[in-house]
Structure 1
């Protein structure tokens, strides 16, 4: 399906999102944080978590009364290297950035820091927080649970969230190693993207109650909400392609996102009560920072990391393939490609942006469409 893609500058789209956040009650400083993290996703080519999710995942939830625009960031328990915080259903990006900064500050003093958060909301791309650590010369690890999506191996009921386990490691290259991916074969944001562009999904992403693949994204999204569809774990279905590994990693993230901070988990994260009424999601996150200089000189570490990545990329290629990538490289290449063009907007996103402009009376904005 033709999408008539147009590009708008990153600065303009970031400013637009900030202004809409302010219109719905997010304080200006926090609105800037939320818009920055969302636009960072588009800069990295992660279209599933940027401008496309701005309205449905944040603005609509604030307007529905299930997410607080003003973030009450409460430190419940504070130790030398650890902390537990409660976000009180505020803005996930604000909670995430402050939590990772706490972990970094603790690691700077004591070598390592870990902060866990409860009662949070969707915090955008996990890679943003891992990259906060790489910029500080540290290793960053983060994860979050999410509304039920993944079926356990040999199951068909969506129980676990897409639960990314994300790691950022600095190197001597122009970009850090950043592994930021769901523990499912795919994730809701990508399915939403396929739905917006009118494209069928590959088989094996989503299954119905009989364990059969679904390829229509609209049907899959409806089924994921109702519980009649489920995502396959990373590795796929059953044992043959080791789907139990993705199931296991998703469970690790679920435990670390709930048990340490005594937050909600599994079906309690559905965002619906027993009568089907929308309620806050009460998500949990964890953030780990490791100060490399507590182990070895930073430049030596970065050189070794870079050597490992370069050797991997230089290894023998599969027939028909001329390139091997390492984690974080494709996002860096996306930035090089997009930095002079901006955010790609399809027809669906254009309509959404024009609707937001009209609804929130943002007359100062003009677009290329």
Structure 2
């Protein structure tokens, strides 16, 4: 009989390298290693050879950067997603794409299971598995870190290093970094280790080397730089007059934002599994794009449409953070978001300077801003009669007057 096939989300680090070997032995299975290229850069070097040397029967390293930018980052930014007021969801939004491609590979290869190296304490286990559930409910998911037999064999890093050495697994068995890192096209996240102390100052000069994408604001150029972003129906389609794909937009904005020290966030967030977690993020290009998009909406989106969309931001952001990208409610909200973006077209000019994004102009062929109506001078269109405001205010004040009158005339018991 043919061996069972398992598709493993493989990064090439110590954990997934050990898991690859352990899965092969424990399940007597054929392991297909999968790595999604979503912008990790040099982290991908040598992965195929390493996976094959560790025991994988086949290796997929798929360039998903363009799909990531176009089908995941851009729709999420149209929704104005911002988790707990700070986090641009860089790790969260990558997980459904990885899960989607793993399911595709599992189906193509006839695999019966998917495996990942996410721990039992984090959000990623939920995101991966909810993604698989939403796409291929009959595919089994194996999460070694939640299995007692795995945890008892590897209670710590030392045991994993010893196992790697004993099995000839080509993993650099060095001391752990003082933090963990996850990188993609949208951001880099840093957590754990020294960062578990929320009083630890990640921005201190002695910690500069931790940041890979951005200059410290104090080290950014002393001269401001102006950029122009052109939008069409909510998507940025050009930079400084040059047409760009979503992938090109993200790459170029990352370079510009990093140069000017833009996009650093240090926060304590609420994980889906119930605990609080401290994370430090670099999102240079995403921060610029998010700011420009909101600025474009300011003159092109109807007020009540914006209110409806904005009322869903917390819900949408939480769905993405918690792993419900393929859930029907996220898709329903996305349909509303797409409709809200139909007139979000025009050009935004920004000034980048030492960690700051400064508005420097916005224009649109479908602008709802009419200077003739908004002017403090005489209105040549006579579209607004200031006297009409008297009745408007009187009607809006009515319920306040009634409430105030009741409060004045009624003494309630203590």
- Rg larger in 1 or in 2? 2
TM-score over 0.5 for the pair: no
Q: Pick 1 or 2: higher relative contact order, CA cutoff 8 A, min separation 6.
A: 1
TM-score category, normalised to shorter length: under 0.3
